[in-house]
Each structure stands twice: as C-alpha cells, then as structure tokens.
C-alpha cells in the first residue's frame, strides 16, 4: 500500500520550515511522498496584501519543485471553501482507497486535537503524525505518531512582516518563492 503524508496549511507563504517538516517526516516514516496542501479559504481573516489561494498554491509548487518526494496538492484549493480535515480526508480516501494517509500536524495542533471536527472518526481514518514546535506541549489522548525533527522557530507571519518591512526574507523562503512574491507584489513587498 502506498504511504502518503499530507501537510496542510495556509502556506502564506511556504517557507523552509514547511519543507523541513515534510521531508523529515517522509524520511523518518518511509513515506512514498508528502503532499503540501494549501487551504482554499483560511479559517482566519486575510490581510490586504495576502496571497490568494491560487498564488499560495503556485508558491507551494515552486517551493517543492526541486525536492524528491515532496509535491504540491491542489485538492483543497480546487474544492474551494473552508475545509475541515475530516471532510478533506473522507473525500481523499474515496478517490485514493489504496493509499495509507499520514496527516502531519505541529505540536500546536496536537494540543488542540480535542477541539477538531469529528476527531474520533478522523483518527481512525488516517494516521496522525505530530512534530514538535517551539512553545507547545504536543500531548494528546488520541493515537498519534510523534516524529522528532529539527525545530526551527519560523512562521509565515514573520516572513510576511519581513517582506513588508525590508522587502526580503533571504534564506527563509526559497529563491523561486522570493521571486514570485516580488513579482506579484505580495505582503507589501
């Protein structure tokens, strides 16, 4: 059975921290691939200079282009709307019944699992994979595979701020993503 990791998020923008998480989990668990899957509509309000769903997907495609085993997934962007993980995974399992899915979440999300929509059913449908994040506990009663990875205290919020203030975030995003952000004049760059 094919083993596929999924790393969801806004990816506004995707940065090296996302790539480290995806690649380290892929290697540690022997996954065939990890798909980085941007949400269509983030659950929080977006700022004026934020990227659209299509722009965020394009940036993810650029970010993973040169990395073996990492791919962009347009699944949630193409579905549109706000997606619950349970609904997304139900639809993906129907489309790919022969895939064993591993849904990757940071320690901050591990701490919030009891609040997730239909978490009991979700935890039976997919394998949940937790990775540490600075400042989080990362403990839960739900079945979860913990993967210890190098931690980097980096957020998309910090990167958006860097572009707004300095016009660059060298070494925090890949050069192709940096170029895209400048070309599209995102984040006040």
Question: What CATH number is attached to the domain comprising 34?
Answer: 3.40.50.620
pLDDT recorded at residue 44? 61
Does residue 161 fall inside a structural domain?
Answer: no
Share of the chain above pLDDT 90, in %: 73
Does residue 170 fall inside a structural domain?
Answer: no
Does residue 183 fall inside a structural domain?
Answer: no
pLDDT recorded at residue 6? 98
pLDDT recorded at residue 49? 63
pTM of this structure:
0.93
Name the strands in the sheet holding 145-146, side by side, starting at the edge strand that comes first in the sequence: 70-72, 33-38, 2-9, 99-106, 127-131, 145-146
How far apart are alpha carbons 139 and 168 in whole angstroms? Answer: 36
pLDDT recorded at residue 48? 56
How many domains is the chain partitioned into structurally? 1
Residue of 109, 133, 132 lying closest to 122 (CA atoms): 109
Mean per-residue pLDDT, 156-162? 92
* Residue of 189 and 35 predicted with greater confidence: 35
Does residue 35 fall inside a structural domain?
Answer: yes
The maximal CA–CA distance of the chain, rounded, in angstroms, is 47
Does residue 188 fall inside a structural domain?
Answer: no
pLDDT recorded at residue 17? 94
Does residue 136 fall inside a structural domain?
Answer: yes
Does residue 114 fall inside a structural domain?
Answer: yes
Structural domain span for residue 102: 2-151
Indicate whether 39 pLDDT > 70.
yes
Does residue 95 fall inside a structural domain?
Answer: yes
pLDDT per position as a tens digit, 53-105: 999 999 999 999 999 999 999 999 999 988 889 999 999 999 999 999 999 99
């Amino acid at each position: 059975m094919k083993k596929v990791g999924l790393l969801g998020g806004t990816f506004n923008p995707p940065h090296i921290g996302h790539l480290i998480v995806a690649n380290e989990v892929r290697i540690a668990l022997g996954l065939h691939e990890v798909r980085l899957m941007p949400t269509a509509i983030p659950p929080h309000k977006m700022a004026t200079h934020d990227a659209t769903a299509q722009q965020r997907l394009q940036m993810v495609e650029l970010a993973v282009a040169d990395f073996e085993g990492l791919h962009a997934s347009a699944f949630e962007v193409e579905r549109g709307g706000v997606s619950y993980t349970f609904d997304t995974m139900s639809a993906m399992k129907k489309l790919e019944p022969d895939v064993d899915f591993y849904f990757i979440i940071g320690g901050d999300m591990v701490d919030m699992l009891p609040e997730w929509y239909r978490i009991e059913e979700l935890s039976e449908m997919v394998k949940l994979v937790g990775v540490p994040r600075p400042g989080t506990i990362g403990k839960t009663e739900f079945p979860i595979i913990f993967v210890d990875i190098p931690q980097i205290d980096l957020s998309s919020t910090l990167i958006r701020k860097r572009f707004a203030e300095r016009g660059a975030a060298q070494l925090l995003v890949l050069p192709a993503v940096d170029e895209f952000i400048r070309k599209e004049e995102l984040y006040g760059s």
